[in-house]
Structures are given as C-alpha cells and as structure tokens.
C-alpha cells in the first residue's frame, strides 16, 4: 500500500471522513434542503439514514484507515514512513516508487537477505585480497621496524579509499546503481577494514576478536529490540540520528584537514590529548551508540522497503544499508576498545 500519497489521502479525508464524514453529511443536508426544506426532517433523516454519525462507528476499530499513516479525524496525515521522515537524497528518491511494483517485482525479505549475503561475501573478497597481496609482497620485500605495510601496498590502500568514497557517494544519489557501485564499495571496504584491523591488532592483542564479538552482540540486541517494537524508528528519531552523524563526519573532516595543514599546531595537540583521555572514551561510547542508531534505521529501511511494496531493485539499497551499518558499527567498537586499552 502506498502511504505516501498525501494529497490523495487528504482529499479523501476532507471529502469523506473529516470530523465524522462531513462530505457525506453535507451532501445529505443539501439534498434535504432542496427536497424537503425542513430542518426537523433533515435532522431525522441524518440520524436515521447516516449510520456514520453514531459514535461507535467513529472508534478506531471501525476505521481501518485511522492508523499511523493516516488520521482522518481532522488531524491530517502523519508522515512517519521512512520516505518522508528525513531529507536524504536516497530516501527522497524512493518515495515516488512506493507501491508501484506488482507481482514478482515486489521486494521481499528473502530478497533483501540474499543480497545482504552477497555483499558480505564481496566484503570477504576484499578481506582475503589484503592477506593474499600482503603475503605476496612479503616474498620480495622486507618490512622496516615499526612498519605494517609494504611500500607496494600504499598505492592499493589509497586507490581503495578513493574508490570506496566515490562508490558510496554514487549509491547515495543514484540508488538504482547500488548493485554495481555497492559491489565496488564492499570490496574496497573489505580491504580497508582489514588494514585497519591489522593495525589495531598489532598494537592491542586480541582486540579484533573482542570487537567482532561485541559487534555481533550489539547487532543481536538491536534486532530483538526492533522486532519487539521496543525501539521505534520515527521521523524525529531519524532526524536526530542523521543530523548527529553528519555533524560527526564534518568534525572529523575538519580535524583531518587541520592535521594535514598544521600537524603540530596547538589545536591538533589539544584534540589529541583530549581524545586519548577519559573524555575520548566518552566520545567513543557516543560513537558506538550513534552507529547502533544508524543500524536501527537501516533495519527499518529494509522493513519499509518490503512493506511499502518497492520494486526489487531497491532490495539492493536495503541490503547495502545493512552491510554499511554493520561496518560502521564494527569500526566504532574497535575504536572504543582501543581507547579503553590506552587508558588502562
């Protein structure tokens, strides 16, 4: 069912069920005035032949349209679907496609699950590529003391980083390209996340396994909380989550730019000192909560993709969101554990 056709809903609301079916009653009243011209007869006619004036018919159980998407009692349409809740280019582009698919072209949960498994396998290819290339370069080169990557690996790392950035931007603004560019993104992120994990593992023994275990635990808890309805993804929830995410990304970019320009500046040194102390742990905990909230929104995106009848093309979008949400959560957990280790 398409819950985003607000003009149609409002028109129906105003014409049929606005304050107890005023459209129906007004029609009766006009008919009575023209044919009978008698107020008493009008009142008797309305009470006898308009059953919708009876209070019991205006209760929610008698009005299937009085739900979270439509409020026909003079309150207008409540826009809580994922397509209307936040001005995100990808979400806004999906709005016009809700409910247009028919037959075998409709998205299903099994389709989203299958495509999620595909992206996970592609991510695993990037992971395997790091170890294969690292071992291959190790046969012909030696690492200097304190180095983690061979010189030949740095161009690959930069290339993967640039490709992942481009692919992520393209999928955000062109959802129908997610199958192709999402594949590129997952391969590159598989490589990049493995390099990051390798760097953390060289510094903190067992941290990768701890991060994996904690990430899986958080995913399990979020799944239960969302499916049980304990966590509800509303429009306000999305706005808070995505606004906080954008602010955190911009803050990280600003710090990176300042660090590249003036790595020894007082500003950079102050941020590093704060980040390595107890306050840094607090910010890392907030980061984990933010990543968990983003993943919860991805759960809801997948559910709404199926429930609102989007075409199968958008199964790729839903599954890609789930995979990227899990990757983001893992990196934030890894960062938190590292900060805890630093402060011991």
Where do we find the tokens 């929104």?
297
Residues 24 and 156 in one domain: no
Exposed, middle or buried by CB within 10 Å (0-12, 13-18, 19+), for 230?
exposed
Q: Is the pTM of this model over 0.75?
A: no
Q: Are both 107 and 59 inside the same structural domain?
A: no
pLDDT at 141: 76
**Is residue 82, in this structure, part of any structural domain at all?**
no
Q: Tens digit of pLDDT per residue, the chain (344 long)? A: 333 344 444 443 444 444 444 444 444 444 444 443 444 444 444 444 444 444 444 443 333 333 333 333 333 333 333 333 333 444 444 544 555 555 568 999 999 999 999 999 999 999 999 999 999 988 877 787 778 888 889 999 999 999 999 999 999 999 999 999 999 999 999 999 999 999 999 999 899 999 999 999 999 999 999 999 999 999 999 999 999 999 999 998 999 899 889 888 888 888 888 888 889 999 999 999 999 999 999 999 999 999 988 999 999 999 999 999 999 999 999 999 999 988 87
Residues 200, 126 within the same domain? yes
Q: What is the pLDDT of residues 96-129, one digit of tens each?
A: 455 555 556 899 999 999 999 999 999 999 999 9
Compute the distance between CA of residue 15 and CA of residue 176 in angstroms, rounded to an integer: 37
Angle at 174 between CA 172 and CA 178, to 5 degrees: 80
Tell me, yes or no, whether 57 and 136 share the same domain.
no
Does one domain contain both 28 and 107?
no
Same domain, 290 and 201: yes
Contact between residue 309 and residue 106 where contact means Cβ atoms under 8 Å apart: yes
Report yes or no on 181 lying in a domain: yes
71 forms beta bridges with: 76
Q: Is residue 93 part of a domain?
A: no
Total count of domains within the chain: 2
286 and 213 share one domain:
yes
Same domain, 107 and 171: yes
Query: In terms of domains, do 269 and 319 share one?
Result: yes
Whether residue 187 is contained in a domain is answered as yes
Does any domain span residue 71?
Answer: no
Q: What angle do CA 219, 173, 9 make, to 5 degrees?
A: 85
- Let me know if residue 276 belongs to a domain: yes
Residue 81: inside a domain, yes or no?
no
Same domain, 149 and 16: no
Looking up tokens 């020894």, which residue turns up? 264
Distance CA 79, CA 164 (A): 33
Q: Is residue 200 part of a domain?
A: yes
Domain with 299 in it: 103-342
Q: Which residue has the tokens 């049929």?
A: 16
Residues 22, 157: one domain? no
Written as one string, the DSSP assignment of 20-68 is: TTHHHHHHHHHHHHHHT--HHHHHHHHHHH-GGGSGGGGSGGG-TT-SS
Instruction: Assess whether 186 and 47 both reside in one domain.
Output: no
């Amino acid at each position: 069912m398409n819950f985003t056709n607000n003009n149609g809903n409002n028109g129906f609301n105003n014409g049929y069920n606005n304050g107890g079916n005023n459209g129906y009653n007004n029609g009766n009243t006009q008919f009575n005035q023209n044919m009978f011209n008698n107020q008493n007869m009008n009142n008797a006619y309305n009470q006898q032949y308009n059953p919708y004036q009876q209070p019991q018919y205006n209760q929610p159980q008698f009005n299937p349209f009085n739900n979270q998407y439509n409020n026909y009692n003079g309150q207008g349409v409540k826009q809580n679907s994922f397509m209307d809740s936040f001005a995100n280019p990808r979400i806004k582009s999906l709005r016009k496609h809700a409910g247009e698919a028919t037959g075998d072209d409709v998205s299903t949960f099994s389709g989203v699950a299958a495509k999620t498994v595909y992206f996970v396998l592609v991510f695993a290819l990037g992971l395997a590529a790091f170890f294969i290339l690292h071992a291959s370069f190790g046969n012909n080169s030696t690492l200097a003391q304190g180095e983690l990557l061979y010189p030949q690996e740095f161009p690959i790392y930069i290339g993967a980083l640039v490709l992942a950035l481009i692919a992520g931007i393209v999928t955000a603004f062109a959802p129908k390209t997610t199958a192709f560019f999402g594949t590129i993104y997952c391969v590159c992120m598989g490589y990049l996340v493995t390099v990051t994990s390798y760097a953390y593992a060289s510094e903190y023994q067992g941290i990768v396994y701890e991060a994996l275990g904690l990430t899986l635990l958080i995913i399990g808890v979020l799944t239960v909380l969302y499916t049980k309805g304990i966590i509800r993804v509303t429009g306000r929830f999305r706005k808070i989550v995505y606004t906080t995410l954008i602010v955190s990304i911009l803050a990280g970019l600003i710090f990176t730019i300042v660090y590249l320009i003036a790595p020894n500046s007082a500003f950079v040194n102050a941020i590093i000192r704060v980040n390595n102390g107890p306050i840094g742990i607090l910010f890392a905990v907030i980061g984990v909560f933010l990543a968990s909230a983003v993943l919860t929104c991805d759960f809801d995106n997948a559910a709404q993709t199926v429930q609102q009848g989007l075409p199968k093309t958008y199964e790729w979008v839903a599954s890609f969101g789930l995979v990227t949400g899990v990757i983001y959560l893992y990196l934030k957990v890894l960062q938190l554990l590292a900060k805890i280790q630093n402060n011991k």
